Structure 1
């Protein structure tokens, strides 16, 4: 069993993973304030991890969003609207010294990469040799996968493998597709994305237009890259994927406009899907478990 941590925009999760079975157990969650001070953020992570009873000296995996120096374990958050108090903090050293279990090491990886790896091992991307994963939340995370490995260059792959470094209509993609972009376009400071989705479902035109514009833009930017990459599936995760009934139609239309017309759209998020389709758009099959499983695999590969 491999202990892992996953940092999200507003939460931290600790769990142990049975990698051969793809099973996540002994899970604990804690809220995380992305605008808090460094000690408060690290304290929340520590308290969450300390709920796990694992032997001292065990190697941990940790999925964390960027920008982050994953090799050294140093946070580089700046200009992304979250965790900026951690800029320059040696997170690896903090965890090694402050966790009750005293880990032997911590292996860090990008949260979108961990998500995609988990989906490839045990979720919606199983059986696909060339797959792309997108996570939609506070920003746009991405992962381009070839035969089980994440790649950062090649045909269709954006700089560093990061879709957040691409542009839409001359502006950074996250100015069109992110939590802050959707809220800004909706124009109601009391609403969150979930509220906007609820309004769209009951027929409010402004809410539906804001969401459609965001996901059609994402599809139009992704389409040419998926074609050049030779992707056979696009897997969508993150908090916004919970509104898949709203995401899927607009994303499908945008992808078609961008030249990558899906043959199928997964509807239920389950892992069992037909693979005769050459191009499929699917929601995450493992939901919150994918990044945890991916983090565990990073540890197993390192061992």
Structure 2
């Protein structure tokens, strides 16, 4: 079982993952204030990580949003509205030294990359050679995957594989506020128009959507689909193309983080 953490803008989750079947156990989830000071944020992360029964010396996988130096484990949040207090902090060292059961190593992975890797391993885009994933929450994360590996360059892939956007008004739209619905329609249509040519050029046969906004699929899907068609990528136009919401358990990023931890040890899975 691989210990993992997923750090998000509103919560942190710790769990154990069995990569043989993608099973997630011993899940601990705690609310997180991304606008808090550094010690408060780290305190919540550490407290959450101390929940699952993890043996000392284990290698952890951690899914964390950008901007972040995932190779070194250093936070680079600046001017993005979240985790500003962590700027320049070595989170790898903070976890190596601060967890009750001392890790042997901590491996960081971009949260969107972890999400898509997990969905490809055991989720909704399993079997697709080329797939794209987007996470919709307080912002937009994106990842491009070919034959099981994340791509950060090539046809259709934006710089560093990133497409950024912010929004948080789904509740108002669902409550019947017409202006909120129009804004969301414009946002997701625009996102689809921007994504469409990239998915076409990348040769993606699947787009999977995760994050908190994926729970509002009835709001997201129509406008996003319209934009994708306008942008030249028609989900469902052929049997090989599909746009899907992430699995209901929301475990993909945890599975992806676990894969990163195993691969860092030189053990393919």
**Normalised TM-score (structure 2):** 0.96
The number of residue pairs the alignment matches comes to: 265
Gaps of 5+ in 1: 165-173, 183-192, 265-275
Q: What residue in structure 2 maps to residue 218 of structure 1?
A: 191
Query: Cα distance 1:246–1:194, how it changes in 2: closer, same or farther (>3 A)?
Result: closer
SS in 1 for 2:20: helix
Q: What residue in structure 2 maps to residue 188 of structure 1?
A: none
1:5 matched to 2:11? The reply is no
SS in 2 for 1:298: helix
Q: What residue in structure 2 maps to residue 285 of structure 1?
A: 247
**Normalised TM-score (structure 1):** 0.85
Write the distance in 1 (CA, Å) between the matches of 2:249 and 2:159: 27
Write the distance in 1 (CA, Å) between the matches of 2:95 and 2:133: 29
Residue pairs, 1:266-281, within 5 angstroms: 277-281=239-243
Q: Is the 8 A contact 1:197 1:243 kept in 2?
A: no
Write the distance in 2 (CA, Å) between the matches of 1:197 and 1:301: 42
Q: Is the 8 A contact 1:123 1:286 kept in 2?
A: no
CA offsets, 1:265-291, max 9 Å, x none? xxxxxxxxxxx7122110002542000
Gaps of 5+ in 2: none
Q: Alpha-carbon deviation of 1:226?
A: 0.6
SS in 1 for 2:150: strand
Write the distance in 2 (CA, Å) between the matches of 1:208 and 1:83: 29
Write the distance in 1 (CA, Å) between the matches of 2:257 and 2:114: 6
Q: Alpha-carbon deviation of 1:114?
A: 0.3
Residue pairs, 1:140-289, within 5 angstroms: 140-164=140-164, 174=165, 178-179=166-167, 193-200=169-176, 204-263=177-236, 277-285=239-247, 287-289=249-251
CA offsets, 1:192-221, max 9 Å, x none? x24223224xxx422221111110000000
Runs of 4+ with deviation above 3 angstroms: none
